Structure 1
């Protein structure tokens, strides 16, 4: 017949672990073979050390020290316990050192998740100024259209459209941007002069913003305009590059597009119509990090960089 023993209740095994002050007192006394020197190391009295060790002996039901008139020595049980306790305390100390080092390393870095065009037009040109002001801080910048997951990633700051996924996050408006049609100068020479002329052009779209062109066309009174063709790309820099190469017309972020070196040269505005619809780009961070000095430094730097890019 098999006898099934009831399992230990949750946490029961933890009761076998003595309190940390008792373990520290034992380890110091065992390594020094002196209650007095152990007391000095731990800034306690010799009687406090003796009390802690007596508690261990009562818990285990065995003597850990043989006490003499002027000295103490470990018993066989004390020797075995000392070997394991000292190893365990060393492991705890090492884990704590690793954690402190990890936090120091983490505090020397700041992770930014940023829209690709914002990264190229605003952040990268301003990097020398940031490095001059904050030589001790390393930036890690991820240029992506994906929303940053503040719970599952190391991101500290994100640059994003809109206020999606806002629980527990602080949103600070950076700049309002509008869709501005831009193209290569050759398309203007070929007859692109007014919004209606877009019917003879290829419209270049951003896959993550499928409503951008329809919204712009609706405001221009051209909701039912049929373009000659459509080109879909997954990031803004690729869209602008395609427009510069003369493949079609795309919508750029105004006023930030002015910071692109090719603007006004290889990339021009074909007509004067300007939409009233705008989107806000936000700086996003965790609410509990509102007073983080690293984030405050990055916030100031980005706000100034946006001002220069406009």
Structure 2
């Protein structure tokens, strides 16, 4: 059998960009999955189209779709990448590099409120396993990263992934006791306060206010931060009212003292936090151990 011609095989980065964009039918979502910019994804795909002398995508104003050549190429590229992934995992398993190590991608707030307090228990149960935890809002790319398990807020459908509900969460306004003493008694009183937002959840406060019957409430101001831990810390400093995740917020150290829930109102609307793993690893003993540990940690935090 002749050796492959390296001049014909495109760079792996271009193949990954094409596979993600073709699977998601979105350059933006592909960029998010690969931690790149949409322009970088577009550049990689243009390079492939120039190399092959054919269009792989039909680009619309707000969407893209595969051409017939793109459809045929996706089938071959997906199979090749899956083969490379499995071959690499086999090599790692043979060398024992994954046997005692497991990578978790988790939301920053879930990491601090649920996982970190439960780590001593994990080490007692599974002293032979080493956890590597990445606290991030970015969705884990199971195709091109070493992530074994991800904890995510809201569900995104993806082929080849097992998605299991962990806990239902609702928005719960929290603030310092000083704001309550100053007169924050009902949701309508929020008109005198600063609302603290997380940039990744711009609709959280508007949705909560709508359920509270106050869709047009205008607060004194807004403060935007890039993570839930930063938002809660700002609330602890008396900078405004944050919208936390109940019931998990009750596991945060200082809840009830540094932060309190000023209202009795609870919205009916809820979101779900999910545990995500690869379907083919469903019986992996490491995954089973971590799944059981996270479920127990959620039960304690709730």
Equivalent of residue 172 in structure 2, options 166, 176, 180: 180
1:234 alignment partner in structure 2: 226
- Within the alignment, does 1:158 sit opposite 2:150 as a pair? yes
Deviations 1:168-212 (A, max 9, x none): 111111000000000011111111110000011000001101010
What 5-or-longer segments of structure 2 have no aligned partner?
5-87
Query: 1:108 Cα shift?
Result: 1.3
Structure showing greater Rg? 1
Instruction: Rate the CA distance shift 1:101–1:308 in 2: closer, same or farther, 3 A.
Output: closer
Equivalent of residue 129 in structure 1, options 121, 130, 133: 121
1:210 alignment partner in structure 2: 202
- Within the alignment, does 1:292 sit opposite 2:267 as a pair? no
Query: 1:152 Cα shift?
Result: 1.3
Instruction: Rate the CA distance shift 1:161–1:13 in 2: closer, same or farther, 3 A.
Output: closer
Equivalent of residue 269 in structure 2, options 268, 273, 277: 277
CA contact (8 A) 2:92 2:98 kept: no
2:97 alignment partner in structure 1: 105
CA distance in 2, matches of 1:103, 1:173: 33
Aligned-residue RMSD, C-alpha: 1.7
Instruction: Rate the CA distance shift 1:156–1:100 in 2: closer, same or farther, 3 A.
Output: closer
CA contact (8 A) 2:196 2:241 kept: yes
Equivalent of residue 132 in structure 2, options 131, 140, 153: 140
- Within the alignment, does 1:219 sit opposite 2:231 as a pair? no
Equivalent of residue 119 in structure 1, options 111, 124, 129: 111
Q: Which runs of 4+ in 1 moved over 6 A?
A: none
Alignment map for 1:48-59 (pairs within 5 Å): none
CA distance in 2, matches of 1:235, 1:116: 7
**TM-score (ref. length: structure 1):** 0.68
Instruction: Rate the CA distance shift 1:242–1:102 in 2: closer, same or farther, 3 A.
Output: farther
Instruction: Rate the CA distance shift 1:190–1:100 in 2: closer, same or farther, 3 A.
Output: closer
CA distance in 1, matches of 2:223, 2:301: 28
CA distance in 2, matches of 1:106, 1:186: 50
CA distance in 1, matches of 2:221, 2:292: 43
CA distance in 2, matches of 1:245, 1:304: 31
| Partner secondary structure for residue 97 of structure 2 | helix
CA distance in 1, matches of 2:92, 2:237: 52
2:183 alignment partner in structure 1: 191
- Within the alignment, does 1:244 sit opposite 2:233 as a pair? no
Count of residue correspondences: 218
2:24 alignment partner in structure 1: none
CA distance in 1, matches of 2:191, 2:163: 39
| Partner secondary structure for residue 96 of structure 2 | helix
Q: Which moved more, 1:165-174 or 1:253-262?
A: 165-174
Query: 1:271 Cα shift?
Result: 1.4
CA contact (8 A) 2:142 2:278 kept: yes
Deviations 1:191-248 (A, max 9, x none): 1110000011000001101010010000001000001100011111111000010000
**TM-score (ref. length: structure 2):** 0.70
